[in-house]
Amino acid sequence: MPPSRSQTTSAAPSRHDPHGTLRGLWAALANRLLPAACALCGGDARGVLCTACHRYARPEPCACERCAAPLTTLSPQCGRCLAQPPAFDASIAATRYAPPVDLLIQALKFRAQLPLAQAFAHWLLDTLARRPQVRADLLIGVPLSAERLAERGFNQAHEIARPLARALRLPLRTDACARVRDTLPQSALALADRRDNMRGAFAVTDRAAIAGKRVLVVDDVMTTGQTLEALAACLKRHGALSVINVIVARTPLR
Ligand SMILES: [Zn+2]
Ligand SMILES: [Zn+2]
């Protein structure tokens, strides 16, 4: 799936200025034909990132199949997941949350560099191609609260999930669940308080879309996993057959 440059902006031509219209047409054409600057290194790129920077997506050589945390032993699951199995069935991460991937994710989230979502979807597609056993009926992105959505103007998980769903030829159901309670930022809380903070944060708004379905949950970053745990528990309560997290970047366990 080559990343599209369709979201790259160019100056809109003025309606009453024929030179402006020509300039606009030329910009649109150049946009399609000429290499642009890679979002990370500034080098020539046909897509959002150049070929070299696409390689920054490095899957962990050994990760927990349940929560995608990097492991140092050849065990299928980490001790935490074995001791307290999460509500989700598996987690797949394209890469580790480390420089320079962290900068790219922050650029998408906090500087609205929306074309980066295409590059992340590309990484996830490559990652899923190595897991042919993964089966799914639909995708959802982790919902933001209405307040957070209004503040940011977009949901980065949906921006990543949209091109991924298109490439996988699966429906993206952004309307099937919602974040009903705004929670405190997880980073501000001790680990023990994070689960309580997330309780009741999500609701399924279209049960028929979820019941009996295999759901891929898309998000940008997985840190403690408590947000994804709360969402998976909610989806399972409403009859989801399986829940697999598909994450751009996973932080190592702390
Ligand atoms: Zn580059
Ligand atoms: Zn684990």
First to last CA, the chain: 34
pLDDT beyond 90 at 56: no
User: What is the rounded distance in angstroms from the CA atom of residue 15 to the CA atom of residue 170?
Assistant: 39
Interval 114-165: pLDDT, tens: 989 999 999 999 999 999 999 999 999 999 998 899 999 999 999 999 999 9
The predicted pLDDT at position 13 comes to 39
The predicted pLDDT at position 192 comes to 63
The predicted pLDDT at position 15 comes to 45
Residues linked to residue 219 through DSSP beta bridges, in sequence order: 247
Token reading at 234: 């909610």
The predicted pLDDT at position 40 comes to 77
Whether 175 contacts 205, CB under 8 Å: yes
User: What is the rounded distance in angstroms from the CA atom of residue 136 to the CA atom of residue 166?
Assistant: 13
Hey, which CATH number is domain 57-250, 3.10.450.50, 3.40.50.2020, 3.40.50.150, 3.20.20.70? Answer: 3.40.50.2020
Question: Any idea which of 188-192, 213-217, 225-229 has the lowest mean pLDDT?
Answer: 188-192
Nearest bound ligand to CA 50?
Answer: 1
pLDDT beyond 80 at 186: no
Confidence of residue 4 (pLDDT cuts 50, 70, 90): very low
The predicted pLDDT at position 21 comes to 55
CA of 65 to the centre of ligand 2 (A): 7
Q: Mean pLDDT over all residues of the chain?
A: 84
Instruction: CATH 3.40.50.2020 in the chain: give the residue spans.
Output: 57-250
Phi, psi (5° rounding) for residue 109?
A: -75, -45
Nearest bound ligand to CA 90?
Answer: 2
Nearest bound ligand to CA 64?
Answer: 2
pLDDT beyond 90 at 78: yes
**219-246: b or e for each residue (b if 16 or more CB lie within 10 Å)?**
bbbbbbbbbbbbbbbbbbebebbbbbbb
Nearest bound ligand to CA 53?
Answer: 1
User: What is the rounded distance in angstroms from the CA atom of residue 164 to the CA atom of residue 197?
Assistant: 30
CA of 166 to the centre of ligand 1 (A): 25
Confidence of residue 14 (pLDDT cuts 50, 70, 90): very low
Nearest bound ligand to CA 54?
Answer: 1
CA of 234 to the centre of ligand 2 (A): 19
The predicted pLDDT at position 12 comes to 38
CA of 131 to the centre of ligand 2 (A): 18
CA of 52 to the centre of ligand 1 (A): 6
The predicted pLDDT at position 3 comes to 39
Whether 80 contacts 86, CB under 8 Å: no
- Average pLDDT on 198-210 reads 90
Confidence of residue 198 (pLDDT cuts 50, 70, 90): confident
Whether 128 contacts 92, CB under 8 Å: yes
Whether 65 contacts 54, CB under 8 Å: no
The predicted pLDDT at position 86 comes to 97
Nearest bound ligand to CA 66?
Answer: 2
The letter for the amino acid at 41 is: C
Query: What separation in angstroms does the CA of 40 have from each of 105, 115, 174?
Result: 11, 12, 29
CA of 177 to the centre of ligand 2 (A): 25
CA of 73 to the centre of ligand 1 (A): 33
Interval 98-128: pLDDT, tens: 988 999 999 999 999 898 999 999 999 999 9
